[in-house]
Copies of this chain bind each other. A is one copy, B any other.
Amino acid sequence: MRVSAKGENGVRAMTILALEFRAGPIPLREIAAREGLSYQFLEQIFLLLRRAGLITSVRGAKGGYALARPPEEIKVGDVLRVLEGPLAPVECMGEGNSDACGKIAACLTRGIWERLRDRMAEVLDDITLADVINTPADYT
């Protein structure tokens, strides 16, 4: 039940882009340095995020990445779906989808995963990047 490093670092990097929104494109090396991450690993992550339309890129010197939309309009769930695949706790259950799997107890356990999936989506789609950067220190 863990989020992968890709997902975790992707959200982290998106948070930086949210903090720097309006500052013009931020080069990847800067983000990598700021978060102590491998430049090349982040590159893989950003490739996916760009192709999914969550960020835009500017090539060449003075280039870099920026959010494609303001932080208020990007949900954490959007980012995680791109990097982790659909928010489904078990394989036979993509979001929206509900295949039976032919096993005896299948129909019995399905309700568990459906409820879990829906709650997870609820939380993650309720938090935008704007919420993340406005988190008060005493949130805990």
Instruction: List chain A positions with a Cβ less than 8 A from chain B.
Output: 1-3, 7-8, 11-12, 15-16, 19, 34-36, 76, 80, 84, 87-91, 98, 103-116, 119-120, 122-124, 127, 132-133, 135, 137, 139-140
Contact = CB atoms under 8 A, between A and B. Distances in A.
A90 B97 CA distance: 26
Contacts of A127: 111-112, 115
Q: Which among A108, A120, A123 has the highest number of chain B CB atoms within 10 Å?
A: A108
A118 to B, nearest CB: 9
Given A98-B140, A132-B109, A87 B12 contact: no
B139 A3 contact: no
Given A1-B3, A1-B89, 9 more contacts: A1-B1, A1-B88, A2-B88, A12-B103, A12-B106, A36-B103, A107-B137, A111-B135, A112-B124
Given A103-B35, A120-B116, A109 B1 contact: no
A140 B123 CA distance: 20
Nearest to A2: B89
Contacts of A114: 139-140
Contacts of A98: 140
B12 A105 contact: yes
